[in-house]
Amino acid sequence: MGVVGVMRSWLCVCMVAVLLLLASPASCAGFDELFQPSWAADHVLYDGELVQLKLDNYTGCGFASKSKYLFGKTTAEIKLVPGDSAGTVTAFYMSSDGSNHHEFDFEFLGNTTGEPILVQTNVYVNGVGNREQRVGLWFDPTTDFHNYGILWNQKQVVFMVDETPIRVFENKEDRGLAFPKDQPMGVYSSIWNADDWATQGGRVKTDWSHAPFVTTYRNLQIDACEFGTAAWEEDVRRCSGDGEENGRQFWWQAPIMEELSVHQSHQLLWVRAHHLVYDYCADDARFPTTPPECER
């Protein structure tokens, strides 16, 4: 075979490899593959790479993952409701089922035009929440997409904004405290009217003349251990036992992922110093006795 023939064969192999890669569901899963509308489906709009959730004076809406997961990371690029969004809440979260459920929440609290949109995070363990923190973002989340992610392994839950950690919930089982590690969780998002509490404690109500309120998503990703592929005990063992699947260790279970890096720790300190506006751990009126997980 001559040089030209060799080059043609090589190009053919490369093109086939590229096509196979592009066709791989893991590399480019669409919204329909991972998610489905969970309520008010006519208000969940998706076409191509963009997904929109719409709130009007008739209803809000939401979507949910088709599968549940035990440990991993989920992310979404979100552009929040522009303009006057007072009274509205957009949520991006993970949750298990039942009254004793676990839950990790991002809740974006709408505001009047020009006022900052706050991000409230919350953690439920065995059905108990009341662990709110609120952060003011260092950018306008309504003018462009930003990445919001939840990393979950057996040692910590990390809430991230553009890969900057804004909150860490650590495993403190050695102190007798429960940690969410035994229930598979779905991935959800929704938008609804919460003007009884969302904006300035409910003092500012939703102005329906600005409806519909629309939150836009793209690049929704779930990189996690899918649950429900086998018997419950086998799934638990596979997802949390030795942290391996098909002979490979799950990246989120690696020792380096069990705590923040030095750089991430500095980022978290910066967020808390400059952008934290509420922390339940410091709310003596609500909690005269410091919640045990807050103690260092």
What's the pLDDT tens digit per position in 127-154?
999 999 999 999 999 999 999 999 999 9
Residue type, 244: E
- The 3-state secondary structure of 186-247, one letter per residue: EEEEEEEECCCCCCHHHCCCCCHHHCCEEEEEEEEEEEEEEECCCCHHHHHHHHHCCCEECC
The strand pairing partners of 41, in sequence order, are: none
Tokens 């904004």, residue?
A: 161
Confidence at residue 8, expressed as pLDDT on a 0 to 100 scale? 42
In three-state secondary structure terms, 175 is helix
Q: Is 107 a catalytic residue?
A: yes
- Asked whether the beta carbons of 76 and 62 are under 8 A apart, the reply is no
* Beta strand extents in the chain (DSSP E only): 35-39, 44-47, 50-55, 61-65, 68-79, 88-95, 103-109, 118-124, 133-136, 146-152, 156-161, 164-170, 186-193, 213-227, 244-245, 248-249, 276-279
Report how far residue 265's alpha carbon sits from residue 204's, in angstroms, rounded to the nearest whole number.
36
Q: Average pLDDT over the chain, rounded to whole?
A: 89
Confidence at residue 167, expressed as pLDDT on a 0 to 100 scale? 98
Report how far residue 177's alpha carbon sits from residue 173's, in angstroms, rounded to the nearest whole number.
5
Confidence at residue 248, expressed as pLDDT on a 0 to 100 scale? 64
Q: Is 49 a catalytic residue?
A: no
Q: Grade residue 20 by pLDDT with cuts at 50, 70 and 90.
A: very low
- Of the candidates 103, 132, 173, 259, the residue annotated as catalytic is 103
Report how far residue 86's alpha carbon sits from residue 179's, in angstroms, rounded to the nearest whole number.
34
Residue type, 204: V
Mean pLDDT of 185-193: 98
What are the structural domain ranges in the chain?
31-288
Tokens 């090589």, residue?
A: 10
- Of the candidates 49, 77, 107, 163, the residue annotated as catalytic is 107
Confidence at residue 249, expressed as pLDDT on a 0 to 100 scale? 75
Mean pLDDT of 175-196: 96
Q: Grade residue 245 by pLDDT with cuts at 50, 70 and 90.
A: low
Tokens 């004076």, residue?
A: 57
Q: Which long-range contacts (CB under 8 A, 24 or more apart) does 5-13 make?
A: none
Report how far residue 114's alpha carbon sits from residue 36's, in angstroms, rounded to the nearest whole number.
33
- Asked whether the beta carbons of 105 and 283 are under 8 A apart, the reply is no
Does the 31-288 domain belong in CATH 3.40.50.10310? no
In three-state secondary structure terms, 171 is coil
Report how far residue 251's alpha carbon sits from residue 190's, in angstroms, rounded to the nearest whole number.
29
Share of the chain above pLDDT 90, in %: 77
Mean pLDDT of 263-292: 97
Mean pLDDT of 99-128: 95
Report how far residue 138's alpha carbon sits from residue 148's, in angstroms, rounded to the nearest whole number.
14
- Asked whether the beta carbons of 148 and 76 are under 8 A apart, the reply is yes
pTM of the model: 0.88
